[in-house]
A = this chain, B = another copy of it.
Amino acid sequence: MKGVIYSINRNATIVDLSHQVPRHDIEAGAFVLCTSYRYFPVGTIHVAVVDPGVGTGRHILGLSAGGYYFLAPDNEILKYIFHQYDPEIVFQLNDQRYFLRPVSNTFHGRDIFAPLAAHLSNGVPLAKMGTIVNNYHRGTIPQCSINTNQITGTVIYIDRFGNLITNIPGECLRQQNFTIILGTLTIENLSNSYADVSAGQPLALIGSSNFLEIA
**A interface residue numbers (CB < 8 A to B):** 2-4, 6-7, 10, 13, 15, 19, 23, 36-37, 39-41, 44, 52-56, 104-107, 110-111, 161, 192-195, 205-208, 210, 213
Contacts and interface: CB of A to CB of B under 8 A. Distances in A.
Number of copies: 3
Contacts of A206: 104-105
Contacts of A19: 19
A40 B8 CA distance: 9
B105 A54 contact: no
Closest 10 CB pairs of A and B: A55-B193, A107-B208, A3-B40, A3-B39, A104-B208, A7-B41, A2-B15, A106-B208, A56-B195, A4-B39
B194 A41 contact: no
10 contacts: A3-B40, A10-B13, A19-B19, A23-B161, A54-B195, A55-B195, A104-B206, A104-B208, A106-B194, A110-B208
